[in-house]
Amino acid sequence: MTALLRVDEVGKRFRGLTAVDKVSFSIEPSTIFALIGPNGAGKTTLFNIIAGLITPDGGAITFAGERIDRLPPDAVCRRGIGRTFQLVRPFPNLSVEDNVIAGALLRRPDVVRARHRAHEVLWQLDLFDRRHQRASTLTLPDRKRLEVARALATDPKLLLLDEVMAGLRPAETDRMVVILTKLNRETGLTILLIEHVMRAVMALASRVLVLHHGAAIAEGPPSAVVREPAVIESYLGAEAVE
Amino acid sequence: MMARLIEGVPRRALVLLALLLAGLIVAPWLANDYLITTLILILYFAYTGQAWNVMMGFAGQLSLGHAIYVGLGGYASAALFVHFGIAPWLGLIAAVAVAVACGAIIGFLAFRFRVGGVYFAILTIAFAEFARIGFDHLSWVGASSGFFLPVANYSRSDLWNLRGSPTMFYYVILALTVGAFVLCHALLKSRMGHYWQAIREDEVAARSLGINTFRYKMYAVVISAGMTSVAGVFFAFYYNNLFPEQVFSIGRSIELILSPVIGGIGTLFGPIVGAFLLTGLSEAMQNLLSQLGIDVPGAKQVFYGLCLLAVVLAVPEGVWPWLKRGVGLKGEST
């Protein structure tokens, strides 16, 4: 099977700092892939490179057989990659429904049909009852789910999730895990997630890539990766070895 | 189409709207000439405010030089009329074309080179100033000594050449204002309207949803410029004179945006409510002052300033959103 997303030797330097150091990996269709690592490891930079917000210094990114590095973010989205932001950025003065409609209009130029699609997505994300509320009045867990809903409404083949569990209580995390698992199983959606919450990573991901100082230090199934000494030392900490 | 336009609009709003429109239609039978000219001024500002609102209220792009589009529209149609005898309704096409081209240049320069926010606003002022200085030296349209349309006593109104009584001009501007309202309502409900609002709220997030923000910002500028230039045609034929120092001045640009700012930026009724409040009250005040025999130069400007201050302090989102809650309409950005 050919990979849906292939990242080849992608690098990015900010002045003297190497944020991403020739990282390569690939994601198979309909799988969930996690990117983990300590703060400042370059996860979000790599993420923004894939989404087109940052241009890489070198390397290639291929999505569904097409080169997408150098494309602007809106073009990347139109190719079929949806994303959320680490610091959520809903449209604050629009209703929850209108937030999602803005995403749904990409594949459905007709507003009525886009609204139908938005309602479907809002059901999936448990936000339907809040659809008339202003986005700025939502709680953080709701705003996180709204980010996912809005990205999902663009009908992506690949969904990039940047720390959607951060700041959530364990019950909320479990709720998100259930929603994402369901999406992946039922629609075959491919997901790339950056996550610090290890119990979510263990529950969701079939493969994990560990970044440290911009470089990939380990890759594999989560159960194997968490046992690697380099990963324990740089990221998980000694208490994780039990 | 009509059914879709009024879909989701509360019945109470439709009734109020119908009453307002009916009142405005019969107004010339009830009002004297002075009241008619005041109503013309109110509707003029409601129209231009609506046009400006497309750019700022819907798409979040602040223009402080909108007088340029009024001026270009006015000069284009007046020049064609005076020099070639072309009727204003045909001249309108040229006026819109010139304003759209000008808006496209400003928009392209700004959005292509990522000039945003305050810097974009300054760029729009700069262009209005270029136009003012340029027209000051353009002798084909009278340069700094002004450009005049022939004035004669018309026995009856000539709608085709826009020559006639205030009542005729009143119905023209009323039709324009209603047209702008319907157009803006349709735009706001369309895909483009949703995209504009997304861009206004957060451009980076909008791009991540696949929205070509450059293209939609360009649409906003061009539509707003074209709509505003129509007001310029009206202005030229109503006042019969154009002076670069006046039409392109920054004071005019500011005046154009006061109605939506007072009434509520980004709302459909904001520019209308704002125009009625601002122009209505300031005319009433001037009347009162002159009847008391008090001559205070600049009283209007001071009054505008006080109005702005009051709105910013008491109802920063504008009078209309506050009023709307009062009359029991909720939801909807209209």
Is residue A241 pLDDT above 50, yes or no? Answer: no
A103's tokens: 């995403």
What pLDDT, on the 0 to 100 scale, is given for residue A205? 95
Query: What is the CA B149 to chain-centroid distance, rounded?
Result: 22
Residue among B194, B207, B208 whose CB faces A111 most closely: B194
d(CA B125, CA A230): 59
Please report, rounded to a whole number, the percentage of residues in chain A having pLDDT higher than 90: 80
Residue among A92, A102, A109 whose CB faces B209 most closely: A102
What pLDDT, on the 0 to 100 scale, is given for residue B284? 87
d(CA B90, CA B79): 12
Query: E strand or H helix at A34, and its extent?
Result: strand A32-36
> What is the residue-averaged pLDDT of chain B?
91
- The stretch B2-22 carries a mean pLDDT of 79
Angle between helices B67-84 and B117-136 (to 10 degrees): 30
**CB atoms B209 and A151 under 8 Å:** yes
Residues A135, A121 share a domain = yes
Within 140-179 of A, beta carbons closer than 8 Å to B belong to: 150-151, 153-154
Is residue B142 pLDDT above 80, yes or no? Answer: yes
- The stretch B35-59 carries a mean pLDDT of 96
Domain segments of chain B as ranges: 50-146+162-248, 250-334
How many CB contacts within 8 angstroms connect chain A with chain B? 76
Residues 6+ apart with CB under 8 A from A133: A95, A96
Residues A183, A66 share a domain = yes
Stronger pLDDT, B280 or B176, i.e. the higher one: B176
What pLDDT, on the 0 to 100 scale, is given for residue B290? 85
Which segment of A207-211, B12-16, B116-120, B240-244 scores lowest on mean pLDDT?
Answer: B12-16
First-to-last alpha carbon distance for chain A, in angstroms, is: 36
* Entry pTM: 0.92
Is residue A111 pLDDT above 70, yes or no? Answer: yes
Is residue B153 pLDDT above 70, yes or no? Answer: no
Over the stretch A33-75, which tens digit does the pLDDT of each residue have?
A: 999 988 888 999 999 999 999 999 999 999 999 999 999 999 9
Number of domains making up chain A: 2
Is residue B293 pLDDT above 90, yes or no? Answer: no
Cβ burial B1-37 (10 Å sphere, 16+ → b, else e):
eeeeeeeeeeeebeeebeeeeeebeebbeeeeeeebb
Residues A195, A102 share a domain = no
B200's tokens: 């206004």
Burial class (CB in 10 A: 0-12, 13-18, 19+), B84: exposed
Is residue B334 pLDDT above 80, yes or no? Answer: no
Nearest CA in chain B to A153: B209
pLDDT band at residue B1 under the 50/70/90 scheme: low
Q: Which of A98, A122, A155 is the last residue of a domain?
A: A155
d(CA B48, CA B65): 12
Nearest chain A Cα distance for residue B214, angstroms: 10
Query: Pick from B12, B69, B10, B43: which is nearest to B248 by CA?
Result: B69
- The stretch B9-32 carries a mean pLDDT of 87
Is residue A242 pLDDT above 50, yes or no? Answer: no
Residues A105, A8 share a domain = no
Reduced to 3 states (helix: H, G, I; strand: E, B; else coil), residue A66 is strand
Residues A177, A71 share a domain = yes
pLDDT band at residue B135 under the 50/70/90 scheme: very high
pLDDT band at residue A131 under the 50/70/90 scheme: very high
- The stretch B163-178 carries a mean pLDDT of 93
pLDDT band at residue B154 under the 50/70/90 scheme: low
Stronger pLDDT, A7 or B13, i.e. the higher one: A7
Nearest chain B Cα distance for residue A192, angstroms: 16
Residues A112, A37 share a domain = no
- The stretch A94-117 carries a mean pLDDT of 97
Over the stretch A176-211, which tens digit does the pLDDT of each residue have?
A: 999 999 999 999 999 999 998 888 999 999 999 999
What pLDDT, on the 0 to 100 scale, is given for residue B208? 96
Dihedral angle at the C-alpha atoms of B153, B158, B163, B164, nearest 10 degrees? Answer: 60
What pLDDT, on the 0 to 100 scale, is given for residue A1? 55
CB contact A46 to B (< 8 Å): no
Q: Report H helices in chain A.
A: 43-51, 73-79, 96-104, 111-124, 140-152, 170-187, 198-204, 222-225, 229-231
d(CA B187, CA B198): 14
d(CA B124, CA B67): 10
Residues A97, A62 share a domain = no
CB contact A93 to B (< 8 Å): yes
Over the stretch B65-112, which tens digit does the pLDDT of each residue have?
A: 999 999 999 999 999 999 999 999 999 999 999 999 999 999 999 999
Residues A97, A146 share a domain = yes
Q: Is the ipTM above a cut-off of 0.90?
A: yes
Best mutation target, A50, A79, A111, to test chain B (most B CBs within 10 A):
A111
Residues A57, A2 share a domain = yes
Residue with tokens 């949703």: B194
pLDDT band at residue B4 under the 50/70/90 scheme: low
A197's tokens: 């919450």
Q: What CATH number is attached to the domain comprising A31?
A: 3.40.50.300
Residues A97, A72 share a domain = no
Residues A166, A198 share a domain = yes
Residue among A74, A90, A150 whose CB faces B207 most closely: A74
Over the stretch B194-223, which tens digit does the pLDDT of each residue have?
A: 999 999 999 999 999 999 999 999 999 999
Reduced to 3 states (helix: H, G, I; strand: E, B; else coil), residue B248 is coil
The whole domain housing A123 covers 86-155
Residues A35, A140 share a domain = no
